[in-house]
Amino acid sequence: MRDPASTLKDLFDAERAVRASHDALVASPLEVLLSELERATREALGLDEKDEDESSLRLVRIAGVLGELSGPRAVDLLIDILGCDEPEARHAAGEALSGLAFDRFKEVAQGVERALDRLAAGSPALAELPYLLAEVPEPGVMKLLARFLAHKDPDAVASAIEALAEGGDPSALPLLEPLAGDARKVQLEDEGGTEGEATIAELVAEARSILTGEAS
């Protein structure tokens, strides 16, 4: 068994190597780098069923690089990672997308619109994106959340309702009205990890009480 001091030195050396590789990648020609990242992302996503740890490791590193790039290809790849099954990779992609949204909101907004058209119902990304958007102080956010409210994926709809409620803007109330009688059910989990079930209509009623100031 190696002594902790040697192992710690190896850890520091490995971290320096990671940072040097990261900087070298970001400095690469953009088109060449994006093509390689697209290939690497597909490969890492394909590894998920065979080796979850390896898949997550690769996707986390890829997301870190993508978060420093610009353009639609980078945004689409981050959203693809946001839709994977690995929580650590989804978190990394969400952090990268959030950073991009604050710096270049239009690029991310266009990527979200593409995602709404290209992702299949049930993709975790559709349920994650509304929360990410709600954190960005841009006037176009509510318009994007309205598109989530109209989506056929009930989890995406539920996330958009909760995001609007957390935003606290009463002008969102008219967007919720068409869903007031929606009986579709979604699974929910509170901050304590307790799972439950609610209808879209119940979530709308709760959101309305928050936005109108009637919630206790």
Report the alpha-carbon distance of residue 56 to residue 90 in Å, rounded: 9
Same domain, 145 and 83: no
Same domain, 78 and 25: yes
Overall number of domains in the chain: 2
pLDDT at 187 over 80: yes
Same domain, 22 and 111: yes
Average pLDDT on 168-194 reads 88
Record the tokens describing residue 29, joined without a space.
Answer: 């020609």
Same domain, 10 and 99: yes
Same domain, 95 and 167: no
Same domain, 109 and 5: yes
Average pLDDT on 53-68 reads 96
Same domain, 105 and 164: no
Same domain, 111 and 176: no
Same domain, 4 and 81: yes
Q: Say what the pLDDT of residue 196 is.
A: 85
Residue at 136 is within a domain: no
For residue 203, the enclosing domain spans 141-216
Q: Last residue of some domain: 66, 83, 118?
A: 118
Same domain, 96 and 168: no
Residues 82-124: pLDDT tens digits? 999 999 999 999 999 999 999 999 999 999 999 999 999 999 9
Residue at 135 is within a domain: no
Percentage of residues in the chain having pLDDT higher than 70: 96
**What CATH number is associated with residue 166?**
1.25.10
**Cα(first)–Cα(last) distance of the chain, in Å?**
58
Residue at 129 is within a domain: no
Same domain, 91 and 2: yes
Q: Say what the pLDDT of residue 193 is.
A: 62
pLDDT tier, 192 (very low <50, low <70, confident <90, very high otherwise): low
Average pLDDT on 151-166 reads 96
Same domain, 43 and 150: no
Residues 10-52: pLDDT tens digits? 999 999 999 999 999 999 999 999 999 999 999 999 998 889 9
pLDDT at 1 over 80: no
Nearest to 134 by CA among 106, 179, 169, 104: 169
pLDDT tier, 191 (very low <50, low <70, confident <90, very high otherwise): low
Residue at 202 is within a domain: yes
